[in-house]
Amino acid sequence: MMRFLLFLSLFGVLYAYVGYGASLLLVSLFRRRVVRKEPFYPKVTLIITAHNEEAQIDDKIRNTLALTYPREALQILVVSDGSTDHTNGIVQRYGSDGVELLALEERSGKENAQKRAIEIARGEILVFSDAGTRLDPTGLGEIVFNFADPSVGCVSSEDRLQRRDGTASGEGFYVKYEMGLRNLESTVNSVVGLSGSFFAARKDVFTDFSGQMQSDFRTLLNSIKLGLRGVSDSRAIGYYLDVGGDDKEFARKIRTITRGLTVFFNHLEFLIHSGMACSPTNTSATSYCDGRCRFFSLWRLFRMWFWPAIHRPFLCFWCFRS
C-alpha cells in the first residue's frame, strides 16, 4: 500500500510539472483556436489598486501616462484602499492629466477596492494592474486587441519577475514555464488562471463581482459561464519585483493557493457538470449560453489548484531554505 501511494505521489508530481504540459502540446497538434487579435480601440478603464504605495505610485502613474493607447478612450482610475500615507496626495497631483482618484476611507482589501472601482468604471473593457507592476508603452493596446475576437472574455498578461537590481528573479525559469503552459492552454481553448498583477476582461463579465474572492480566478470562471474563454498574450507583459525575501515569497505562494481554493469551492458546478451551458455559435460577450459544450478539463483544475495545494507548499518550503 505504501509503495502504491509513493508511486501515485511521484506520478502526481511528474504530471503536474511535465505530463500536463506534454498533454497540452499533444492536444494542440489536433485542436488550435487562434485568437483573432487585431487593433481596435474600445473605451477602456485602467484600474490601479493601491494601499500605502507612496514609494511607487508616482512611478506607476508616470508609466501609465506613457502608454500609447488613445487618451480619449482611456479612463485611468486609482483606488486608494484606506491609505494613510501620502498616496492620495500624489495621485491628486495628476488630476489635470486625467487621472481619477477613488479614495476609500477604510481599508477593505484589494477585491473590495476593485469592486468599488467597477461601479464607476466607464470602459467597455476593464484592465486591472497593481501599483508595483510596470507596463511597456504598447502593453495596454496589446492586451486590449485580443477582445477583437468575440470568443475572448478575459486576457492574462505574461509575468516578468525581476529583482530590485533589474536582474531576473530565481523564480524566472518557473515563471517562464508557467507562461508557456498558458500559451498552450490558449491555443487549445482557455487558460485556467490569470496574472492578478495585470489582466483585462469585458465589463459584462463583472455582473456579480465579489469583493470577498480572488478577482483574477473568479473573472476567468465567470467568463467561462458566459460561453467565453480566457487567453494569455505573450506580448502584453507585466514587469514586477519579487516581494523581497524568501519568507514573504513563501507566504505569497500560500496566500495565492488558499484564495484560489476559496473561489473554486464557491463554484462547485465546475465539478458537478462535465460541461457548461454555452453556445458554440456565441458571437457576443453579452449573449448567455444555451447549449452544452466542453469548458474545462477537470485535470486542468486538479493540476492548477488541488495538487499544488497539497504538495507545492512543501516543495516551496525546502526550495526557499536550501
pLDDT digits (tens, 9 = 90+) for 222-272: 888 888 999 999 999 998 876 555 565 566 566 666 655 665 666 555 555
Amino acid making up residue 202? R
Give 226 or 296, the one with higher predicted confidence. 226
Q: What is the pLDDT of residue 246?
A: 57
Burial 13-36 (b: 16+ CB within 10 A, else e): eebbbeebbebbeebbeeeeeebe
Q: What is the pLDDT of residue 297?
A: 44
Beta-strand (E) ranges in the chain?
44-50, 74-81, 99-104, 125-130, 133-135, 152-162, 198-202, 229-241, 276-277, 292-293
Q: Are strands 276-277 and 44-50 parallel, antiparallel or unpaired?
A: unpaired
Q: What is the pLDDT of residue 282?
A: 41
Phi-psi category of residue 98: left, alpha or beta, with phi > 0 → left and psi -120 to 50 → alpha: left
- Domain boundaries, given as residue ranges, for the chain: 44-246
For the question of whether the overall pTM of this predicted structure is more than 0.95, the answer is no
Q: What is the pLDDT of residue 205?
A: 92
Give the whole-number percent of the chain exceeding pLDDT 70: 69
Q: How far does CA 75 lie from the centroid of its chain? A: 20
Inform me whether the pLDDT recorded for 176 exceeds 60: yes
Q: What is the pLDDT of residue 10?
A: 84
pLDDT digits (tens, 9 = 90+) for 22-42: 888 888 888 888 899 999 999
CATH number among 3.90.550.10, 3.40.190.10, 3.40.640.10, 3.40.50.620, domain 44-246: 3.90.550.10
